[in-house]
Structure 1
Amino acid sequence: MKHILVKLLEYQYLSRNEARELLMAIVRGELPDTQVSALITIFLMRSISVEEVLGFREALVEMRVPVELKEYGAIDIVGTGGDGKNTFNISTSACFVVAGAGYPVVKHGNYGSTSVSGSSNAMERQGIRFTTDINILKRSIEHSNIAYLHAPLFSPALKAVAPVRKSLGVRNFFNVLGPLINPSDPEYQLLGVYDLSMARLYSYIYQASRKKFGIVHSLDGYDEISLTGQFKVITNRGEQLFMPEELGFSRVTEAEIFGGETIDEAVSLFNKVLNCTATRAQMEVVVANAAFAIQIIEPEKPIAECIGIARESLYGKKALNALKRFIEVNG
């Protein structure tokens, strides 16, 4: 461990095995919080390599609680977080829009660490009881088209470092790892990232895994399609730049999608969106993210058609119905 720490302090890159051993040591409690904080700071100050990510991921996968839900062909919609924008729960809202449109979703999420409200905060405020019970998770998908996997229940490593991450309050390599360790290993994934270098990193990793994926990044720094300006979408088929207006959306301001200062404010926005009592800007941002998720599942559909499907799910209250049915099983 001393060798690894010295190597990191000299800004050298770790091998895949060194990265794996490092994360194992963190989870086993062999490093004090001060050293874990130092490690997070080092990785914040320099880029992380593909080999390091794969090594960290191997450690987390070895320790996670697996969930067999492959039969549903589900999608996960998730952001890395760490963009500093503190939006409301856009990806979580989009999950229910996709579920309402008839597509199975297995959402992997956690409490907020770099934003006020994470997806688990939003779920908890709906009265959801987190579980690892496979029968409940399957019943949830079959009843509402969505199951929720609360990360700390399935990945003890994330639970072990949660206090340090929360106290630092800045993005770190655990933000990078979260989307890669959904214990159900879903067939499809829409991932939002906070910068283009991160988009490239995930693109290499996804292509190696043969996953059907979409990576989105708004060029003004959002880890989702924010509709505040131009955004990039990278999929198995290549990459494209879009302007909101090209897709029939009006451009929105940062203030219009801000999540508020408290969990209650953020969760209130989540509920307003699904009840269609939020602002047009807030609802259309969710529609945009849901539409690109749908296109990952059905790549033959043009994006205009996917936008129409997402709008019908949200404004037709299908997404709200999916939430209600989800609460029936999990509440």
Structure 2
Amino acid sequence: MKAILNRLFNHERLSRKEARQVLLDISHARYNHVQVASFMTVFQMRPVAIAELQGFRDALLELCVPFEVEGMETIDIVGTGGDGKNTFNISTTSAVVVAGAGYKVTKHGSYGVSSSVGSSNVLQELGYTFTNDTDTLCRQLDQANICFLHAPLFHPAMKEVVPVRKQLGMKTFFNMLGPLVNPVQPTHQLFGTFDLELSRLYQYIMQETGRRYSIVYALDGYDEVSLTGPFRLRTNESDTIFTPKDLQAPQLQQQDLHGGDTPEEAARIFRSVLEDTCTEAQKAVVVANAGLAIQCLRPEQSLSDCMVEARESIESGKARRTLDQLISMN
């Protein structure tokens, strides 16, 4: 590691092969936590290169617990985290709404590191039991249209970096990696990124995979469609800037999206959206993100029609019943 760090401190880049090997070595506990922290900090000082991000991704996919869905069309809806906005769990709520609309969702997530409450925190609070038993997950996907892949169970090799990430308490390149290493490698994916350059990196990597994608970056720094201002949307076919008005949605303020500071408060907001007892702002932002996810699956449909599907999933009670069914299948 000393040689690698010296190279990085001298502004050198790692090749894809070298980046893969370093992450494999980290996962096999070949370095101490101080060395790992130093390595992670390098990428706070300068952007991660495409080859480096690809190499890190290669290593994590190589090490992960596999989960095959046998060619089934599924989607993941995931933000990188690390935007520092402390919003409620918009991506995870949107995932349930999309499942309620009748689409298959293989959601990948974990505990909050750089935010108060991550997707795993809120689902655990709601009563969901994490598992990497593929029979259980396939049954959930079949009957509830959604299953949740708790990252620590599918990436056990990454337990070596968990204490380092917690002690650092800030976004690292692992925030960038999380959305890219869903073990299912779903056919469709809606990404939210906290950084414009990162959205470009994701686009490059996704083009290489040949899968369908939509990549969101809110121009005011959110890693999702926040409706607090314009956002940039990159897809397989286009690169467009939208405003809330383009979506016929309200212009929101940051306080409208506050997620609370505890899993209990986050779970209350989560369930209130699915029960359609939330604020209009909370509902609007979930409908926007769920609508984008549906359009990723159905690009021939207008975004307006896709948002209507998302809204109907909430207002008909389908989204709430989806969550209840998922939790009852533990």
TM-score range, shorter chain: over 0.9
Whether 1:176 and 2:176 are equivalent positions in the alignment is: yes
Whether 1:301 and 2:301 are equivalent positions in the alignment is: yes
User: 1:204-243, aligned counterparts within 5 Å?
Assistant: 204-243=204-243
> 2:269 aligns to what?
269
Query: What RMSD, in angstroms, separates the aligned Cα atoms of the two structures?
Result: 1.0
Amino acid at match of 2:286: V
User: 1:91-130, aligned counterparts within 5 Å?
Assistant: 91-130=91-130
Distance 1:82 1:32 in 2: 25
Deviations 1:180-229 (A, max 9, x none): 11111100000000011000000000011111000001100000000000
Deviations 1:272-297 (A, max 9, x none): 11111110001110110000000010
Given that 2:117 and 2:261 are in contact with CA atoms closer than 8 Å, whether structure 1 keeps it comes out as no
Distance 1:230 1:95 in 2: 22
SS of aligned partner of 1:125: helix
Given that 1:70 and 1:186 are in contact with CA atoms closer than 8 Å, whether structure 2 keeps it comes out as no
Distance 2:158 2:239 in 1: 32
Amino acid at match of 2:53: V
> 2:167 aligns to what?
167
Deviation at 1:129, TM superposition (A): 1.3
Distance 2:71 2:42 in 1: 40
> 1:146 aligns to what?
146
Distance 2:53 2:11 in 1: 16
Given that 2:232 and 2:239 are in contact with CA atoms closer than 8 Å, whether structure 1 keeps it comes out as yes
Distance 1:259 1:305 in 2: 28
Amino acid at match of 1:287: V
Deviation at 1:133, TM superposition (A): 1.1
> 1:65 aligns to what?
65
Distance 2:166 2:271 in 1: 25
TM-score (norm 1): 0.98
- Structure 1 residues without counterparts, runs of 5 or longer: none
Comparing 255-264 with 295-304, greater Cα deviation is found at 255-264
Given that 1:151 and 1:158 are in contact with CA atoms closer than 8 Å, whether structure 2 keeps it comes out as no
SS of aligned partner of 2:158: helix
- Structure 2 residues without counterparts, runs of 5 or longer: none
Deviations 1:30-89 (A, max 9, x none): 211112111121101110111001111111111100001144310000001110111110
SS of aligned partner of 1:233: strand
SS of aligned partner of 1:117: coil
Deviation at 1:2, TM superposition (A): 2.4
Deviation at 1:164, TM superposition (A): 1.1
Would you identify which runs of 4 or more consecutive aligned residues in structure 1 move more than 2 Å? 157-160
Given that 1:117 and 1:267 are in contact with CA atoms closer than 8 Å, whether structure 2 keeps it comes out as no
Deviation at 1:266, TM superposition (A): 1.7
Given that 1:227 and 1:251 are in contact with CA atoms closer than 8 Å, whether structure 2 keeps it comes out as yes
